[in-house]
Structure 1
């Protein structure tokens, strides 16, 4: 599957945005929550409280299942059940956050190079981005593997950097995401981050982000003012 969505590689001297999907571009929580509960039903595990459920979007699902104290075999059965639910239509239970369609189109028109860097499985990411039309303004699809070693945010970001040859141009990149996984994953590579407060994170997750925004209009302003030299 070709991750390049346009003929462009990141042009010299242009800023680059790495974009999280779940909680940043898309409100995909309903499908993730339904898939998780289906997985728990399948392995006969009691539902955790709503505080736990509210943090489902972000980490790899196998990590979330393991956080319930399940053994490896049960985690694997639960993960397989979650993937079956998602493949069967759960992936489509997502809608674009207000203003993000226009934000992507504007950023693309302004010359930014737009790549996703998402822990969402790459097949599911492609399908939902196609359904919502967001894929039309993206240059590169960076996502996790449904089954494979590229599952964490750091590994996804490393994959995008490797694929686009950007390790020496990290100062030209701004990561946009809602969870600590996005912010800390970017920091691992000395990449600046902006926290989107409309997603699934909370106050404590945004402290180390260089910027914080509350809506798409504010994100547009931050990106406009952000420069390669910082």
Structure 2
């Protein structure tokens, strides 16, 4: 069995507009000043409470902010997202090749299911691995733990390739001995991509990297 573990935000889905909208709404509700645009352009990836803490908020303030952000997202913020061109067709071809496809996203499970279903991805995903919207399973490493445990894959990490766009994807996979492909159409930086085993600049690049990985596995 060959398994692809896919990030969602920044890999399959361009969700930054909705995340930014919820983030700025949260800051306004808390009376917190907006950071520079460069900071706001990089917020997709880590759990929202981690981003809020990085601004100097206390754990209590960040938790309050998370509740505001989740409510914004429930009221429609989740829908302000679109799929990256070429990725749906790529998942379709991977399934035709017999690959097993799972997600590992820090996006809340309910929100991930809604957007992936609307954009047509859910038909090609064997297991939806996501964060809890308000629970202990929040960071990337915890989500990967959940995916491995739920499917009995912990002993098969050599058969898994992680695809993501941020350092959180690469580091979370590395904690489990999983190689990673970084995709440059997401929200990461060249410095983040350099820590992955491979970098793909287009879906065609990604398809070639996966094919080479499959061939190397025999």
- Normalised to the residue count of structure 2, the TM-score between the two structures is 0.97
| SS, match of residue 189 in structure 1 | coil
Do residues 217 (structure 1) and 187 (structure 2) align? no
Do residues 66 (structure 1) and 49 (structure 2) align? no
1:32 alignment partner in structure 2: 19
Query: Shift of residue 73 of structure 1?
Result: 2.3
2:147 alignment partner in structure 1: 160
Greater fraction of residues in helix: 2
Quick one: distance in 2 between partners of 1:88 and 1:120? 16
Do residues 82 (structure 1) and 69 (structure 2) align? yes
Q: Deviations over 1:33-63 (max 9, x none)?
A: 0000000010000100011111110000000
| SS, match of residue 119 in structure 1 | strand
| SS, match of residue 226 in structure 1 | helix
Do residues 97 (structure 1) and 55 (structure 2) align? no
Query: Shift of residue 77 of structure 1?
Result: 1.8
Q: Deviations over 1:105-143 (max 9, x none)?
A: 000110100000000000000011111111011100000
Query: Unaligned stretches of 5+ in structure 1?
Result: 1-13
1:204 alignment partner in structure 2: 191
Quick one: distance in 1 between partners of 2:97 and 2:191? 32
Instruction: Indicate which of 108, 117, 120 corresponds to 1:121.
Output: 108
1:53 alignment partner in structure 2: 40
1:229 alignment partner in structure 2: 217
Please say if residues 22 and 120 of structure 1, whose CA atoms lie closer than 8 Å, have aligned partners that are also in contact: yes
Q: Deviations over 1:162-189 (max 9, x none)?
A: 0110111000000000000001110001
Please say if residues 171 and 229 of structure 1, whose CA atoms lie closer than 8 Å, have aligned partners that are also in contact: no
2:162 alignment partner in structure 1: 175
- Normalised to the residue count of structure 1, the TM-score between the two structures is 0.92
Query: Unaligned stretches of 5+ in structure 2?
Result: none
Query: Shift of residue 18 of structure 1?
Result: 0.2
Quick one: distance in 1 between partners of 2:60 and 2:107? 22
RMSD: 1.0
Query: Shift of residue 74 of structure 1?
Result: 1.7
2:97 alignment partner in structure 1: 110
